[in-house]
Structure 1
Amino acid sequence: MSRRLGAAVVAIATLAGCSSNGQPQDELMVSDNPVAATAAHSPAPATTPAGTVRPLAAASAAIVDDRSRTLVVAVDNPPGLRLYQLDALDREPRTVDLATAAESLALAAEGGPLLAATGKTVVRVDLASAEVTPATVDGTAANAAAYRDSTLVAVRDRKSVAVLEGTGTRTITGGLLSADQVYAVGDRAAVLDRLRNAVFELDVAKGTVGEGLRAGQGATNGTVDRFGRILVTDTRGGALLAFSLDPLLMRQRYPVPGGPFAIAFDPRRDLAWVTLTETNEVVGFDVAGEQPEQRYRFPTVGQPNSVAVDPASGRVVVASANGGGVQVIEP
């Protein structure tokens, strides 16, 4: 696959370090009081959602595990998880109760366990038994990712990344205003800072935050593709961004109007599925070439803040954040 550095890269400056008072020195900051980008508010759906829709309360996250054939959807009220049999979605899901709604879901490995970031806890869920094992962190767990034999946790209010290793915990700090998502890419790792609006390298072994690059005008979510890139939605800027970590570079910037927000990657078809909350749509982009190419576009449920994909069948799952249900699309 071509990895040519596009013209967009020359406009991206490497972010500076910290000042003597511990605050990042960032000439590209547009405000002394930055506000993190969030999903654009959706209008009432004007078109019937594609595929089938199952009723469900407001959802905050969704993920598919191919090996166990499980779809997991996090719901807000009451807080919990719904575990669906992916090949029999008409059956009632298993339920896992949580003390606090999960902001994000991730897989520690194929087949699980599931990692649910909820409040001050990362909950590990066995997908076969639905057994829950909590791990407490010092702060608000926003997101988690498996990294080698450990778990990285974005701790938003502490502006840090916790490293859970066996029974111990280390903390990585430095230069962050907020830690919102973490990504493991082979032996490398990165963190998305929504307030500083940048992707930063992490040296997990040394426990340091490395160089960072601006992530558009207001990045919100990201995922890792099979080419070792981090695909990020620039919600404010209306774009899909692609970053490499070896070295840290913005490889692509592709305009995506409509408030791009949630993102999931299909590794068998090289499709990045992105929800557009301004228009209640989900779009599938082929990202194997020099720039993304749109392959699919479907109308969705209202406020489509979550998306997941089944690599085996190519089915796309979109979950509504305002109680519009769970939608399953067969492209």
Structure 2
Amino acid sequence: MRTSLCVLAIGCSVAAGCASQPQPVTTTHAPPAEPARAGPPTAAPVGIVVPLGNAPEGVVVGTSGIAAVAVRDPNGIVLFDAATGRERQRIPTPSAARHLSLAGPDGPVLAPLEGTAELLELNLIDGRITTTVTGVGRQPHDAAATASGTIVVTNEGGGGVLFVRDGRVVGSLPAGPPQPGGVAAVGNYAAVADVQGNGVWVYDGSTRQLVSQAPVGAKLTHAVSLSGDLAAFADTDGGAVYIEHVDPKVSQVARIDAPGKPYGLAYDARRHRLYITLTERNAVRVVDVADPAASRNLADVATVRQPNSVAVEPNSGAIVVTGSDGGGSSSVQIIGPEQLAPG
């Protein structure tokens, strides 16, 4: 069992009782973890496949059944019906978002724009951009809303994170992961994956402090909240997904085998299922995590090419997968619950 090592950072205090020596971080410029460049699918994608803009990637689905997907060239966010793929609205954005998240069960949508260092909050029902926060680092990658109301944005190009409240940046911590990627909200905490191989870093949204750090896997990319104080992290270079307790110390619960460059993650809280995109295999792995310590692989389901992101429609249990081959072929795939696993 691995437990976290707490980190000291200038201007930050750490949880009482932690070791005083900081965890070393990578200082080289080794390539970060990236998804596989997928070849053409060898099996027909399951479910419905619809074109919805160029190079779709980040995707979310609200309790209303409305989904949002980030596209580029032209840059924007497309709202669509998660059951049918029918397009509802297109909202142009100043630059492209790689990832989207939801601040609540039905929004607003949080969209970090990598090219213009902005964080948009967008109404999922009517597409209105309600808030634009500027100066959120350099190439902001992902964002998560903690229970305290603080939004934590990962500053992939500059290192560390920024804290946003009431439509403005209220703090930043450059110390910490040199190239943060995905982030998951676990109560008041935000657990951040470092794509350079330095594990998981945990920030308190209330105090805006770095509170713990732990080595996890080889090189992580993305993170998703599970039930309670659990989060899952895609170890893209290590071919696995780790389930971790975050309280705020980080301790391992399970390692799920996921060969094929795992990348996108989504969690169905109602059905206790974790979905993992296997980018090298053009597949999504369905995992039963009702007992996280004894997780069970249920199925690998054929997807569109380059399945970088996945989201769950919480009512039906269907999932939405985004795919793009980089050569002009882009699509969104909707897989019904009856097609996801036996039984």
Corresponding residue for residue 141 of structure 1: 140
**2:124 aligned with 1:127:** yes
CA RMSD of aligned residues (A): 2.2
Partner of 2:153: 153
Give 1:42 deviation, angstroms: 0.6
SS of aligned partner of 1:59: coil
- Structure 1 residue 231 displacement after superposition: 0.4
Confirm or deny that 1:315 pairs with 2:304.
Answer: no
Give the AA of the match of 2:49: V
Structure 2 counterpart of 1:267 = 269
Q: Distance in 2 between matches of 1:167 and 1:93?
A: 27
Task: Show structure 2 runs of 5+ residues with no match.
Answer: 11-20
Matching residue of 2:62: 65
Q: Structure 2: which amino acid aligns with 1:304?
A: P
SS state of the match for residue 324, structure 2? coil
1:286 to 285, 288, 296: 288
Percent identity reads 29
Q: Which amino acid aligns with 2:308?
A: N
Matched residue type, 2:94: A
Tell me the residue number matched to 1:92. Answer: 87
CA contact (8 A) 1:254 1:291 kept: no
Tell me which residue corresponds to 2:163. 163
User: How far apart, CA to CA, are the structure 2 residues paired with 1:316 and 1:85?
Assistant: 12
Q: CA–CA distance in 1 between the matches of 2:187 and 2:324?
A: 32
Q: CA deviation at 1:303?
A: 0.5
Name the structure 2 match of 1:198.
199
Please, which of 293, 298, 313 is the counterpart of residue 301 of structure 2? 298
* Residues 134 and 27 (structure 1), Cα distance of their counterparts in 2 relative to 1, 3 Å cut: closer
Pairing of 1:228-239 with structure 2 (within 5 A):
228-239=229-240
1:326 maps to what in 2? 332
Contact in 1 for aligned 2:25/2:177 (Cα 8 Å)? no
- Partner letter of residue 217 of structure 1? A
Question: Structure 1 residue 291: deviation in Å?
Answer: 2.4
Q: Hey, what's the Cα distance between the residues in 1 that align with 2:281 and 2:260? A: 6
Pair 1:104-2:134 in alignment: no
Equivalent residues of 1:173, 1:208 under 8 A apart: no
Do 2:4 and 2:250's aligned partners in 1 also have CA atoms closer than 8 Å?
no
Following TM superposition, by how much is the alpha carbon of 1:34 offset from its aligned partner in structure 2, in angstroms? 3.0
Aligned to 1:220: 221
Instruction: State the TM-score, normalizing by the size of structure 1.
Output: 0.88
Distance 2:167 2:46 in 1: 46
- How far is 1:17 from its partner? 4.9
CA apart distance, 1:26: 5.0
Q: CA deviation at 1:294?
A: 1.1
Residue type of the alignment partner of 1:146:
A
Name the count of aligned residue pairs.
Answer: 315
Going from structure 1 to structure 2, the CA distance change for 1:28 and 1:122 (only over 3 Å counts) comes to: closer
Q: Which deviates the most, 266-275 or 170-179?
A: 170-179
Q: Judging changes above 3 Å, is the alpha-carbon distance between structure 1 residues 50 and 146 closer, same or farther for their aligned structure 2 residues?
A: same
User: Shift in Å at residue 27 of structure 1?
Assistant: 5.6
Amino acid at match of 2:133: A
